[in-house]
Structure 1
């Protein structure tokens, strides 16, 4: 029997079975749950559905390839096709005891397999904005998702010592060391999936900000319905809801202030940036190309580009007037730089 791992599920077969509400073949566009959203550009991993296939990550999109001929297997450590593999135990999706049923794709939330028999899984994908639900055997809306793709054994397909994103925290990333998944943390920075490196927090578009220590108070004195700084950006904050058991909120909601405003923890409001002392990137969310620095003296300013500080400049003996966008003789005084 021809190996069917990685084959696309025939839409007509599925519609005839009427077990899934809508099916669609994958297209070459980034999806929020494509496995390549975790990897830097050009990373090559083994396709978990087959020992003979591999995935190249291009701009967070999975591009599939396969090995054949005298080198029919893909070796994840060598990143190349090989004659044999030392271990092929993790090379296939199991259809054991699942004949004529659908099983979840281990590497994504929207993928699934239809088991023609106990040896032949055929691949298919759910439409945009839906996930596969193994319990109901259908593609369901995201809020009904039971996706467990995060439980996937990545070290079966990823080369050792290759960094990849940990979606649970902006500051964390994963790496396989001798086949064991490890979690690493960027010190005072955030992990950038596109480059596979730790960079300035302002360069990473991420809402999974790590919770500051005792963000919602201590067990002896929890915060109730209080807004607190996210300690990572000038605009971001957490909302600590009152808990029924009078304990700190363990999962506070993150949000951020509108453009050209910063979060002020003392008033729990969004205010003009020049009224808020913030040591994070003060170009975050600013529409002006030059903004006042919080360096003492009110003589320095920041050059901004797309919400990120390029550098800090000085007016020398003059003062920086943000409204005029330049250095002036008149004394300029704000609490953030006095």
Structure 2
């Protein structure tokens, strides 16, 4: 199976959801969204071709015209006989929905409607079939594999008559500039297919594939990914219930059970009322002196003094809710957070116990 070169397209907002009656884009507008040196089929032409400038700042457009009786094949960057080329601007075209119309016999294609299905091209026609039970079709390998070897894209949404897809090769994949977890692909008939990466993944625009969110390089025009919340565990160790915040003594997350069995990536975050800390053992907000917390206990205490975790003779001085200094009471004295002073009475609050 021949590999088709796939380009990253620098996309503007004009590419998404363009209606059929929209004004065709100019050669300059299309090339501004293409990698340097890309061959395109100018709008409303079947025989004229243009090669975009060799660099972003260059103006060296080259154009040419196919010899008599030939059409420009944008999928192969060359002129071929009219019978072998599907021209998106030819009104008499009837095979725009048939992806095999311009493919060689024996080519395998994925079925956009069914992850378990695939299409086999024979005599320019689509022959649909499905993988054996529990297997999915891997487009790159042209084979049925186990789900762990290939994660299917989420359900696609087709947008018809996209002007750029009429001018670039079928199969061109490019990033969505509005959402780093999504991407697009041009398919037969000048249509744009929008796809979304599996959960916990994002689209790497430099390699044209979905990867772990932590490894994804988003398109320069796309908003940065929101940090993924992993407080609810991993797919191997899913946590459900109330989980203490790792950055404060009073905050906690509610990790809900997900229908797919995966960790909750959008848990609810709450904080206990003033004077109370979250207790993981009882899943409750308790008096701050009855909760052992190894984080900064000056939280919520403005400019007062607090007990220090692990040492009931020590104290911390707070400023604007954060520790600025520490100290210890005299020998045989204990610090009492309630009275804000040292006392000879044995203090054994849970907050400062060893």
- TM-score, normalization by structure 1: 0.38
- TM-score, normalization by structure 2: 0.36
Q: Which has more radius of gyration?
A: 2
